[in-house]
Amino acid sequence: MEKKDTHKNIYLRVMSYALPYKWLIFISMLASLGVAASDAVIAYMVKPFVDELIVAGDLELARLVPYIVVGLAAFKGMSRFVQEYYIRTAGQYGIQDVRNEVYAHTVHMSMRFFTSSSTGLLMSRMLNDINLMQVAMAGVLVTILRETLTMLALTGYAFYADWKMTLMAFVVIPAAVWPAATLGKRIKKYSKQGQGAMGDVSCVLEQSFSGIKVIKAFAMEGREVKKFHKNNASFLKYIRKTFKYSAAASPVMEIMTSFGVAAVLWYGLNRVSMNEITKGELFSILAAILLMYAPLKRLINVNNVIQNAMGAAERVFDLLDSEVEIVDSPDAIDLPRSCGNVSFDNVKFAYDEELVLSEFSVEAKTGEVIALVGASGAGKSTLFGLLNRFYEPQNGRILIDNYDIASVTQKSLRENLALVDQETFLFNDSIANNIRYGRPDADFSLVQKAAIQAFADEFIQQMPDGYETKIGDRGTRLSGGQRQRICIARAILCDAPILMLDEATSALDTESEVMVQEALKNLMLNRTTFVIAHRLSTIVHADRILVLDKGKIAEAGTHKQLIAKEGLYKRLCDAQFGEQN
């Protein structure tokens, strides 16, 4: 019972997205009445056609037949056009709302969600699963509306003409519905599994195209092709099962309804032989029943489509119902432009059971440069994630100008922060739009000024279209140093008072590093700056260096002070530079 209720609730939830467009649905319903009435009139016209035209030979009626046929066809055709156009439009609007809502919900999820979710699977849910829902919202609405009204009109006429024969035809309907429902459950089950397999296919595709350089560098094309074939075969296995049960539905319905037609023919022919009804009445009722079975069969088939869509809808709503971990508090305020004072107060943080930071406390003053060093996994990048409020600490507070960042809006918080990451990410857009990404309304003069400060203007001017040059997916048309300087220009344009540099020069060659370091000097000017550095030579002039070890500050001081201590920092320097330190 619970499963039935769940299925019903999911379907009602899908259909609720079409409700805002009820006027389009209403127009379609009116047109559906025209389609239904046309079929009922066709069944009714069989009686005079047989009795008066064929049997009695009424020539006057014969002259009218072509006009009646063309008129009915034109009326039914126009009604069907209006009905289908408006209901499909309502369905498409509804699906657009679903896709918009799912995307908006997903991009607001916390970083923890994205680190634990495959990009390919998320893309599969937003594209493949929602496309399947689209069938339920558009095609299914068309069929249900038209065929239900048509069946009701034909059933009404059949009962009016001869309720006994019609009742005999109806006896087989419950017997036909039960196997159809059983097949529908199987279709839903395998459709959901098939969509999961399609998600795996999408995942392989996304990783292959994103990592194509690595694949080619290690000559692993063959291995990736085999992996794709395996996942694709898994999808085919499930989709074939849905085809099998979908294909079985129509033959089952044909066989079951044949018993009803046979019963009506047997009973009707006996009544004709006893002159209880005319031949025209028998054929009229038989036409109504046969026409009535046609929409019933289509409704049974559409149930299979619905089961496919419901399997996809469950996956979409699972994503839509996942809770956003980090939200603004109801009384959150906008953080004013910061003076640059940042304080970590007894912060503790763990990824699941893995403790990363413990009792971490540090205070940065306006304009101060604080460097963070330590082994991989010491918690350096985690501090940036916490300051950006990508994650929430399990204990302690993070303050900016004495405002707890948990009490301010996330938008205003991030307007005060600028991040330059070691993994430069640029969009497949123009250079100018990539620089103004944080300030889309910035005019060109500000974009160029930021590029000049980032030492990027010179190479940009040499590009084919200058600042309007499209740089390819992830900026593939640029070198590593060029990409990094574009990211620095983007951070300069944002003009945030607090800056975070996460190993911004670690992946660069010496020449590029010199250019980027000069750009970073301009960026760091008059800003409170946190620097994560792999190359210790880049932080010797920091106001303070914090040496992290197992989530705690092991040492703190200037470069000279820490070297003199001959502790962990000294050992790190010796390991990297040897005796020259």
DSSP secondary structure of 427-486: -SSBHHHHHTTT-TT--HHHHHHHHHHTT-HHHHHTSTTGGG-B--GGGTTS-HHHHHHH
pLDDT mean over 388-410: 90
- Reported as a pLDDT band with limits 50, 70 and 90, residue 577 is low
Ramachandran assignment for 474, one of left (phi > 0), alpha (psi -120 to 50 degrees), beta (any other): left
Instruction: Tell me, yes or no, whether 267 and 205 share the same domain.
Output: yes
Instruction: Tell me, yes or no, whether 403 and 299 share the same domain.
Output: no
Question: Which residues, in sequence order, are bridge partners of residue 374?
Answer: 548
User: Where in the sequence is the domain holding 411, given as residue range(s)?
Assistant: 338-416+535-581
CA dist list (Å): 98 to 123, 139, 278: 14, 16, 55
Instruction: Report the 10 Å Cβ neighbour count for 514.
Output: 14
Residue type, 513: E
In a domain, 283, yes or no: yes
Q: Are 35 and 150 in contact (CB under 8 A)?
A: yes
pLDDT mean over 464-483: 79
Question: At residue 290, does pLDDT exceed 50?
Answer: yes
Q: What is the pLDDT of residue 399?
A: 92
Q: Is 152 exposed, middle or buried (0-12, 13-18, 19+ CB in 10 A)?
A: middle
Question: At residue 231, does pLDDT exceed 70?
Answer: yes
In a domain, 435, yes or no: no
For the chain, the average pLDDT equals: 78
Q: Which of 83-97, 126-140, 171-185, 320-334 has the highest mean pLDDT?
A: 320-334
Least confident of 232-241, 267-276, 452-461: 267-276
Q: In terms of pLDDT, which residue wins out, 184 or 95? A: 95
Q: In terms of pLDDT, which residue wins out, 2 or 408? A: 408
Q: Are 184 and 306 in contact (CB under 8 A)?
A: yes
Q: What is the pLDDT of residue 149?
A: 75
Instruction: Tell me, yes or no, whether 239 and 363 share the same domain.
Output: no
In a domain, 515, yes or no: no
Q: In terms of pLDDT, which residue wins out, 155 or 372? A: 372
pLDDT mean over 518-525: 74
Q: Is 263 exposed, middle or buried (0-12, 13-18, 19+ CB in 10 A)?
A: middle
Residue 242's φ and ψ, nearest 5 degrees, are -65, -35
pLDDT mean over 489-499: 86
Cα separation, 34 vs 150, in Å, equals 9
Q: Are 554 and 391 in contact (CB under 8 A)?
A: no
Least confident of 123-127, 218-222, 549-553: 218-222
- Among 270, 289, 321, the domain-final residue is 321
Q: Are 319 and 109 in contact (CB under 8 A)?
A: no
Instruction: Tell me, yes or no, whether 24 and 165 share the same domain.
Output: yes
Instruction: Tell me, yes or no, whether 363 and 233 share the same domain.
Output: no
Question: At residue 3, does pLDDT exceed 50?
Answer: no
- Reported as a pLDDT band with limits 50, 70 and 90, residue 27 is confident
Residues in contact with 188: Cβ distance below 8 Å, sequence separation at least 6, in sequence order: 7, 307, 308, 310, 311
First to last CA, the chain: 74
Q: What is the pLDDT of residue 579?
A: 46
Q: What angle do CA 118, 120, 125 make, to 5 degrees?
A: 100
Least confident of 6-10, 39-43, 126-130, 396-400: 6-10
CATH code of the domain in which 375 resides: 3.40.50.300
pLDDT mean over 466-478: 78
pLDDT mean over 294-309: 72
Strand order in the sheet with 498-502: 417-420, 498-502, 528-532, 369-374, 544-549, 552-557
CA 502 to chain centre: 30
The structure tokens listed for 319 are 């994503």
Q: What is the pLDDT of residue 1?
A: 40
The structure tokens listed for 187 are 């279709």
Q: Which of 142-146, 246-250, 292-296, 570-574 has the highest mean pLDDT?
A: 570-574
pLDDT mean over 434-447: 87
Ramachandran assignment for 400, one of left (phi > 0), alpha (psi -120 to 50 degrees), beta (any other): beta
Instruction: Tell me, yes or no, whether 406 and 268 share the same domain.
Output: no
Cα separation, 436 vs 498, in Å, equals 18
Residues in contact with 280: Cβ distance below 8 Å, sequence separation at least 6, in sequence order: 46, 47, 48, 49, 50, 51, 52, 55
- Among 289, 321, 353, the domain-final residue is 321
Question: Which residues, in sequence order, are bridge partners of residue 499?
Answer: 418, 529
Strand order in the sheet with 354-364: 354-364, 342-351, 395-400, 403-404
Instruction: Tell me, yes or no, whether 63 and 209 share the same domain.
Output: yes
Based on the structure, what is the number of domains in the chain?
Answer: 2
The structure tokens listed for 466 are 């200058």
Give pLDDT tens digits for 41-65.
766 666 666 666 555 555 565 566 6
Instruction: Tell me, yes or no, whether 406 and 297 share the same domain.
Output: no
Q: Is 507 exposed, middle or buried (0-12, 13-18, 19+ CB in 10 A)?
A: middle
Instruction: Tell me, yes or no, whether 261 and 354 share the same domain.
Output: no
Question: At residue 538, does pLDDT exceed 80?
Answer: no
- Reported as a pLDDT band with limits 50, 70 and 90, residue 580 is very low
Instruction: Tell me, yes or no, whether 147 and 234 share the same domain.
Output: yes
The structure tokens listed for 402 are 């004495």
Residue 498's φ and ψ, nearest 5 degrees, are -120, 130
Question: At residue 176, does pLDDT exceed 80?
Answer: no
CATH code of the domain in which 238 resides: 1.20.1560.10
| Strand 528-532 to 369-374 pairing | parallel
Question: Which residues, in sequence order, are bridge partners of residue 399?
Answer: 343, 404
Residue type, 119: T
In a domain, 525, yes or no: no
Sign of the C-alpha dihedral computed for residues 508, 510, 515 and 518 taken in this order: positive
Least confident of 12-26, 167-181, 482-496: 167-181
User: What is the percent of the chain where pLDDT is above 70?
Assistant: 82
